[in-house]
Amino acid sequence: MAERVSKGDGELDRDTAVTLRGPGVYDATLSAGWSVGNAAVHGGYLLALLGRALGDQLPHPDPFTITAHYLTASRPGPAVIRTETVRTGRTLSTGTAALVQHDAEGNEVERVRVLASYGDLDALPDDVRTAAKPPEFPPVEQCLGPEDAPDDRPAPGSPLHERLRMKLDPATLGWALGAPSGRGEMRAWFGLADGRDPDPLALLVAVDALPPTTFELGFTGWVPTVELTAHIRARPAPGPLRVSVTTRNLAGGFLEEDAEVWDTADRLVAQSRQLARVGLI
């Protein structure tokens, strides 16, 4: 592991900065550094950006449960976030956020709509009453990232990969060798490339960062997210996260991807589920 930067001072912090323009309205710039291939901006990064704006707008700091519907593909460049406070309670507050951009003709196009309830993770009692255990993971040294691809198989060159430090469990890497496992599973060690420790914003990136489980189910195409809901359950301890994604039901051209994120203290810090579409061949 290389150098570390502080929370508040990393690439994710810089690229999710928002500027209050008027009541509930923020200016933002979608960074090309978080785009996938040459196409859209990464959904987890967008979720972190919207999550940050809502954290600024609402009286509570942390996204306890946040749902995003991805409407159209976001492009690097300027964007506006419009928030609405739905309700302010003692321990939870609820709000919405809409991310909009302008198309080539200058028309406003909505990219993402979010609905979320926020609280204060530090105000929660520390008890854990259930016995869920992290999934089995090989040590990070035995896991593989894009930079480990053999020279004759160049890794796909997404700018996103330079922002993340992600090492996949070889047991879920069959797809990269042309031998998908047939199981709807994907597992990886996850960190930010600049060494910044994880926080709730980083968890919002982590839940949507792994290759789609469809790769291990034998499909190679793009798998756009329709909707993603993440529950942030605890503030993560420093160090790399373990992310496990599973799919039980690929049917009718849609699938769910369930992610669990575990921290170095073996605590389940985030759970998410997304509904995605797959172009069946």
Where b means 16+ CB within 10 Å and e means fewer, 175-209 reads bbeeebbeebbbbbbbbbbbebbbbbbbbbbbbbb
**Measured from the CB of residue 119, what is the shortest distance to a second copy in angstroms?**
9
Give the nearest distance from C-beta 273 to a second copy in angstroms.
Answer: 6
Which distant-in-sequence residues (6+ apart) come within 8 Å of 50 by Cβ?
66, 68, 81, 97, 99, 112, 114
Q: How far is the CB of 160 from a second copy (least distance, A)?
A: 25
Between 58 and 160, name the residue whose CB sits nearer to a second copy: 58
Query: Cβ of residue 3: shortest distance to a second copy, in angstroms?
Result: 32
Q: Which is nearer to a second copy, 4 or 235 (CB)?
A: 235
Structure tokens at 125: 């009692």
The continuous run of DSSP H or E covering 204 comes out as: helix 200-206
Q: Which helix (H) or strand (E) holds 29?
A: strand 25-30
Q: Which is nearer to a second copy, 38 or 130 (CB)?
A: 130
Contact assessment for residue 112 and residue 46, using Cβ atoms and an 8 Å cutoff: yes
Q: How far is the CB of 36 from a second copy (least distance, A)?
A: 21
Neighbour-count burial of 31, counting CB atoms closer than 10 A to its CB (0-12 exposed, 13-18 middle, 19+ buried): buried
Q: How far is CA 84 from CA 6, 91, 99, 144, 164, in A?
A: 31, 18, 12, 42, 31
> Closer to a second copy at the Cβ: 31 or 117?
117
Q: Which is nearer to a second copy, 192 or 207 (CB)?
A: 207
Output the six-digit token pair for 179. Answer: 């031998």
Q: CB of residue 275 vs a second copy: minimum separation in angstroms?
A: 5
143 vs 255, which CB is nearer to a second copy? 255
User: What's the closest the beta carbon of residue 33 comes to a second copy, in angstroms?
Assistant: 27
Residue 20 or 71 having the CB closest to a second copy: 71
**Contact residues: a second copy, CB under 8 A:** 64-65, 67, 69, 71-72, 86-87, 89, 92, 94, 96, 98, 110, 113, 115, 117, 121, 124-130, 132, 184, 217, 226-227, 229, 231, 233-234, 247-256, 260, 267-268, 271, 273, 275, 280
Q: Whose Cβ is closer to a second copy: residue 78's or residue 254's?
A: 254
Chain centre distance of CA 138: 22
Round to whole Å and give the CA distance between 101 and 280.
30
Q: Tell the smallest beta-carbon distance from residue 217 to a second copy (Å).
A: 7
**Rounded CA gap, 275 and 213, in Å?**
12
Q: How many CA atoms lie within 13 A of 214 on its CB side?
A: 21
